[in-house]
Structure 1
Amino acid sequence: SIRRERRGDRCGCLASELSFLLEPSDVIAVRERPLMLDCRVQGEEPIMVTWRKNGAPLPTSPQVQVLENGTLFIRSFQKRKEGSDADMGEYDCAAQNRYGMLVSRKAKVLLASLPKFHTHPLSMSVDEGGVARFQCQINGVPEANITWERDRVALNTTDNRYTLLPMGILQVTGVRQVDAGVFRCVATNSANTRFSHEAMLNITGRTYKEPVILSGPQNLTITVHQTAILECIATGNPRPIVSWSRLDGRSIGVEGIQVLGTGNLMISDVSLQHSGVYVCAANRPGTRMRRTALGRLVVQAPPEFLQWPQSVSKPAGGSAVFTCVAQGVPEPHLIWLKNGKVLMPGHNVKLTNNNRWVMALCSHCNNTD
């Protein structure tokens, strides 16, 4: 009999063989609320879907169920359980039919949380026309949305003298007497809302000051296509001019480049070519006096398959070659599974330098796997 290949199947698998339509993905669950993890498979029936948590089989119960379409349903996500671990962990599903077993990617399930602030804004006095900077930090899961209040009223962010950076930083440039007051930040996510300590901003008289970089760029590691924000805020009287360059002399470019506030550099949709050391300089107008600060930007790329293994039919005693090629930064580590178990090199299995597994199939071999 001849089996037809599915149209549009990038791996060229046969219609009767198993393949995932939808694998479980990382998720942040909310305590005491339902949670569903997808596992949709196609292939020749019957197909049995089972789930594992942290590598161990996951028993079903009225609280934990596997639906008909393979989806895992947890009725009420719990942080702690009597006599067992919490629902947090790594989950994967396994689908099996008469052709073999297919194991999904591991999905991390975390509990939404919002602990106390570990950095609070500090009170400060600033010369009129100078720069004020407040910062708060909190480790929320998921990442908290940060907003700011002055005198317990939401800050008017339409004023272009106010710059909010996603790292919990508030910059106020060209400060005036009307900016004086009590500042605090508000953190909100799906778990909770928290308020930082309050910080006072006092405005003093204008005096001459040499250029000073209050906060320069920090070392930053992000993934391709994300947005990089490198902070550079400088003060002085007269107000210094902030400029950017790369330490290697290469051009920063203009596409996707934007300046936030008076000197922060934002690079949208970063690529691997954006990796490098960036230098911000604060110059006193009309002079050669300058201050510099630098930070390293590292751009990484997630693993990506360039070539997938193809299904083959071989007589016993022959050899089958499966090829898998992937790229990423840093370079990805490849492992192979056979029926859900890690495949190790042996007397009839070997791995070549270009990531090709050569498996000798013979009629007299012991079928132990």
Structure 2
Amino acid sequence: VCIRRGRWCPLSLGCMVVDGNACLASELAFLLEPNDVIAVRDRPLMLDCRVQGEGPIMVRWRRNGVPVPTSQRVQVLANGTLLIQSFQKRRDGNDPDVGEYDCAAQNRYGMLVSRKAKVQLASLPKFHTHPESMWVDEGGVARFQCQINGIPEANITWERDRTALSTSNSRYTLLPMGILQVTGVQQTDAGIYRCVASNIANTRYSREAVLNVTGRTYKEPVILSGPQNLTINVHQTAILECIATGNPRPIVSWSRLDGRSIGVEGIQVLGTGNLMISDVSLQHSGVYVCAANRPGTRMRRTALGRLVVQAPPEFLQWPQSVSKPAGGSAVFTCVAQGVPEPHLIWLKNGKVLTPGDNVKLTNNNRWDKTQH
């Protein structure tokens, strides 16, 4: 706290005394910064920017580092919010409203720039992978896959003979990567399959694929699809696919290449062999081995996949306000952690700070400034 003539105010806000009897926030601080958002064409979009500090405070918005021109369609509201009345995309392919936005707030003490918020346009292009027809022995395994790159990520469902597939059947496993697995295939599973993708932009249907069911024959174990290399953030859910076929039906098991235990907490098996790890942590990173064993024998097939868990950057220590006499030195410290290791950049009044005669950046992320 700071004190002047009996008045106290929180140092975390920055404080000054006016006429000896009022505490006001002087230093700028963001109460609300813009967040990444997916906009829908021809609909309104609002980006938040709420600032506290001594007035008057001027708020300016930038897109890709360039000032955003205001108009009847694009306005900055009194509370600093940027309002785009109707999000636009030109027919020639240019996206005038798409980009990275930040807001810059300024008062007589200096300028503060918010985080960059990525604004994307919702879209759902055509499928780039369609399910393919297949012949499967009775009692075997069928696998269909479709892929589409939607913004936001599309919700995938499946149809058989133009009717929504029942997810209550335990032999049907739907994985979020656009994969449908059918285990213990029966004659009643034969039909025409297609996937349906939908998001806030559109709904699309894949090409159709036919599942033909044939008689049961002896087959050695085969892994139809093993785990793929996967990179996700902490606290997300990892799904490693492993689907195997053969007659008799192979037994699927999982292990880690480094010999460490996979554990049981947050671990679940989807279908007959897919591994789901909920709320992943950095300790879950590693190479996972899927094995398909023929019952009663040592015959097996294996497949490997690497899971990489990343941690978004977070600050452990950040710069604190200081008051120094002219000619003295000021030291600001900033410490952050994350996986991969974060790259730190210093800004002064919204502009990138470069080392000079009176500014030094040290390896422990300290900024030393000497007044001349």
- TM-score range (shorter-chain normalised) is over 0.9
Q: Is the 8 A contact 1:22 1:40 kept in 2?
A: yes
Partner Cα separation in structure 2 for residue 242 and residue 42 of structure 1 = 58
Structure 2 residue ranges without an equivalent (≥5) = 16-24
State the alpha-carbon separation in 2 of the partners of residues 150 and 85 from structure 1.
Answer: 38
Aligned to 2:10: 6
Q: In 2, Cα distance between the equivalents of 1:182 and 1:137?
A: 18
Aligned length: 358
Indicate the SS of the match to 2:305: strand
Per-residue CA deviations over 1:246-271 (Å, capped at 9, x if unaligned) read: 00000000010000000000000111
Q: Note the C-alpha offset of 1:6.
A: 3.5
Q: Residue 19 of structure 2 corresponds to which residue in structure 1?
A: none
Matched, 1:214 2:224: yes
Residue 83 of structure 2 is aligned to residue 73 of structure 1? yes
Call closer, same or farther: CA 1:167–1:81 in 2, change over 3 Å: closer
Match of 1:185? Answer: 195
Q: Is the CA contact 1:79–1:87 (under 8 Å) kept in the aligned structure 2?
A: yes
Distance in 2, Cα, partners of 1:41 & 1:348: 30
Q: What do residues 85-142 of structure 1 show as CA deviations (whole Å, max 9, x unaligned)?
A: 6110111000111111100011111100000000000001111111000000000000
Q: How does 1:282-361 map to 2 (within 5 A)?
A: 282-361=292-371
252, 256, 269: which one pairs with 2:266? 256
Residue type at the aligned position of 1:133: R
Secondary structure at 1:273's aligned position in 2? Answer: helix
Following superposition, the deviation at residue 45 of structure 1 comes to 1.3
Q: How does the TM-score come out when normalised to structure 1?
A: 0.95
C-alpha distance in 2 between matches for 1:290 and 1:122: 27
Q: Which letter does structure 2 place at the counterpart of 1:45?
A: G
> Displacement of 1:361 after TM fit?
2.1
- SS for the counterpart of 2:188 is helix
TM, length-normalised to structure 2? 0.94
Verify: 1:26 aligned to 2:26, yes or no.
no
The one-letter code sitting in structure 1 at the alignment partner of 2:272 is T
The separation in 2 between residues aligned to 1:85 and 1:203, in whole angstroms, is 48
Question: In angstroms, what is the RMSD of aligned CA positions?
Answer: 1.4
1:243 pairs with 2:247: no
Distance 1:4 1:322, change over 3 A: farther
CA shift in 2, pair 1:163/1:62, >3 Å: same
Counterpart Cα distance in 1 of 2:56 and 2:208: 62
Residues in 1 aligned to 2:281 and 2:223: alpha-carbon distance in whole angstroms: 28
Letter of the structure 1 residue corresponding to residue 208 of structure 2: E
- 1:64-103 equivalent positions in 2, closer than 5 A: 64-80=74-90, 86-103=96-113
For 1:54 and 1:275, the matched residues in 2 are separated by 35
* Ranges in structure 1 where 5+ consecutive residues have no aligned partner: 363-369
